[in-house]
Amino acid sequence: MTNQFIIGIDPGASGAIAVLEAQSGKLVRVFDMPTVEVKVGKVIKKRVAPYFLQDELELYVREGATAVVEQVGAMPGQGVSSMFAFGEAFGLVKGVLAGMKVTTATVTPGQWKKALKVNASKDGSRALAANMWPDMASEFKRVKDDGRAEAALIAYWGRVSI
């Protein structure tokens, strides 16, 4: 089966998923990471919902897809529990893709940003994504849409690099 789609994933509870047509590079869909709320101690936190993620990806995987997941690590000043939750989200995303038998590659933020000449700011990602897919620019207009923009750019990097 040939790959009809490239799926770009910015992992984490605040991340997003983007789906590109493999041949044309058209951005078909972009959406926030599916999450559920769970109680952690006395606080309610958002966590990646693997079942919902699988449901969202099913159509594209059935048609043939390759995924690119951003390979992230600890960030300066990030707490231990935050790092653990982020690592858990990354693992859940990769596990869902493996369970769906999707060929998956990883890319570091530095790799894809350098290749696409994106500056480190989240606004830079949003601006580039809106410029590349003007018909979908409304998906990147809010500051919190940086995950959507980065997922789309990760998918694009996968399309031209792997």
Nearest Cα residue to 11 out of 45, 53, 43, 56: 53
Q: Which of 65, 71, 78 is nearest to 20 (CA)?
A: 65
The chain-wide mean pLDDT, for the chain, equals 93
Q: Quote the pLDDT of residue 30.
A: 98
144: domain CATH number is 3.30.420.10
113-161 confidence digits (pLDDT tens): 999 999 878 799 999 999 999 999 999 999 999 999 999 999 999 999 9
Specify the pLDDT at position 119. 85
Task: List helix spans (H) across 13-145.
Answer: 50-63, 80-99, 109-115, 122-132
Angle at 159 (CA atoms; ends 102, 15), nearest 5 degrees:
65
- Residue 70's domain comprises 5-161
- Domains identified in the chain, total number: 1
Question: With a threshold of 0.85, does the pTM exceed it?
Answer: yes
pLDDT for residue 95 = 97
pLDDT over 90 for what percent of the chain?
83
How many other β-carbons are positioned within 10 Å of the β-carbon of residue 111?
Answer: 15
pLDDT at 18 exceeding the cut of 60: yes
Task: Please give the average per-residue pLDDT across 20-25, as a whole number.
Answer: 97
pLDDT in tens, 33-42: 999 999 988 9
Confidence at residue 76, expressed as pLDDT on a 0 to 100 scale: 65
Q: Tell how far CA 95 is from the center of its chain.
A: 14
Measure the CA–CA gap between 107 and 110, rounded to whole angstroms.
8
**CA dist., res. 151 & res. 70, Å (int):** 8
pLDDT tens-digit profile of 68-90? 999 977 666 767 777 888 889 99
Distance of CA 139 to the CA centre of its chain: 14
Tokens of 136: 């979908």
DSSP string, 46-59: EEE-HHHHHHHHHH
Sign of CA dihedral 26, 29, 30, 34: negative
Give me 38's structure tokens. Answer: 């769970």
Q: What is the DSSP letter of 145?
A: G
